[in-house]
Structure 1
Amino acid sequence: MLELTMASVSAVEEGATAGMLMADAPSEPGTVLRVGRDTSVCRLVTPQDWLFVSRVHLEFLCGPESVWQVTWLRGSQDDPSSEVRLLSGQYAQPIPYGGTVTLPRGGSGEIVVADRTSPRSVNVGFYHEG
């Protein structure tokens, strides 16, 4: 099972959060969870006016042997207006534009999508049952 929580955070308003959303999915090969602005395909949807997040920004995919990975999908722009990084305990790793990283099995952490032009972010917490 992969459990996700998402908070949209803006430092413009002191500690403001635009709500907390949750989603989960069984760890079965081929299962997909998406994060972005497109309500028709994303289980976790960000504010529509946060254009630094693509219509479909992150894709969590369960591969063989129930191993989950996250991909920062390439959008229509060559140079994205956000940065994405994976945080897990003391470990931090940038996720390259169009790149994929494997989530730690039986672990938890956070994927942070940060706006390059404004003090706001989308924080997606994850817990991957082992």
Structure 2
Amino acid sequence: MLELTMASVSAADAGATAGMMMADAPSDPGSVLRVGRDKSVCRLATPDDWLFVSRVHLEFLCGPERDWQVSWLRGSLAEPSSEVVLALAGQPAQTLPYGGTVRLPRGASGELVIRDRAAPRSVNVGFYHEAHAG
């Protein structure tokens, strides 16, 4: 099982955090969870006017071995208006490249932060990949 939480944070609103949203999916091959502005395909949807987040920004996909990976999907722009930072518990944070994919270790927890390059706001996506046998 992969569990996600998402909060939208804006320093312009004195550090206000919009409501926390949650989603999960079983670790079955082909399971997908998406984060972005398009509510028709994203289980976790950001505010419509936060254009630094693509329609479908992050995609979590369960592979054939029941391992999860996360991809920062390329949008319509050659250069993104955001940056994505991945922090796994107990490891230094790393920048996820635009169009890049990272495998999440079994039993891992951490956070992906989508930061607007033009304003002091972010979308924080926490995750927990439940360890499983076999």
Q: Tell me how far apart the structure 1 counterparts of residues 74 and 30 of structure 2 sit (CA, whole Å).
A: 20
Aligned to 1:77: 77
Question: For the residues of structure 1 that align with 2:17 and 2:44, how far apart are their CA atoms?
Answer: 15
What's the TM-score once normalised by structure 1's chain length?
0.98
Count, aligned residues: 130
- Could you report, residue by residue, the CA deviation over 1:50-77 in whole angstroms, capped at 9, with x for unpaired residues? 0000000000000121100000000000
Cα distance between partner residues in 2 of 1:14 and 1:104? 35
| Alignment deviations for residues 13-40 of structure 1 (CA, whole Å, 9 cap, x no partner) | 1120111000000001100000000010
CA RMSD of aligned residues (A): 0.7
Aligned mates of 2:63, 2:19 — CA distance in 1: 30
Distance between the aligned counterparts of 1:46 and 1:122, measured in 2? 8
Deviations, residues 66-113 of structure 1 (Å, cap 9, x unaligned):
100000000000010000011012321111000000112101000000
Partner of 2:26: 26
Alignment of 1:46-85 (within 5 A): 46-85=46-85
Aligned residue type for 2:105: P
- Runs of 4+ with >4 A deviation: none
Aligned residue for 1:12, secondary structure, equals helix
Give SS of 2:65's match.
helix
Gaps of at least 5 residues in structure 2 are none
Residues 67-106 of structure 1 correspond to what in structure 2 (within 5 A)? 67-89=67-89, 90-106=91-107
> 1:118 maps to which residue?
119
Partner of 2:130: 129
**Equivalent residue, structure 2, for 1:2:** 2
